[in-house]
Amino acid sequence: MEYYPTLQELLRHSEQSRKMFEALHMDQQVALQEQRQNIHTFADLQKAAQSFVHREHP
């Protein structure tokens, strides 16, 4: 699995990650960019995105 030092690098170099990120609501994208600096892989992004789903649909 590809590892990138920042979320921005991940999105720049991983089409799969970029597509998932772009499918998120704008508020979720902003939250990930501002608060989740520990996203380095597609799996990290997937896990973070799932946390939004669980919060919205408990």
Closest C-alpha among 58, 55, 54, 16 to residue 45: 16
Alpha-carbon gap, residue 26 to 41, rounded angstroms: 20
Alpha-carbon gap, residue 14 to 56, rounded angstroms: 27
Q: What is the pLDDT of residue 58?
A: 53
Mean pLDDT computed over every residue of the chain: 88
Q: What is the pLDDT of residue 44?
A: 95
Does the pLDDT value for residue 32 go beyond 70?
A: yes
Q: What is the pLDDT of residue 51?
A: 83
Name the pTM for this structure. 0.81
Residue 48, Cα to own-chain centre: how many angstroms? 6
Q: 């704008």: which residue's tokens? A: 26
pLDDT tens figures, 15-31: 999 999 999 999 999 98
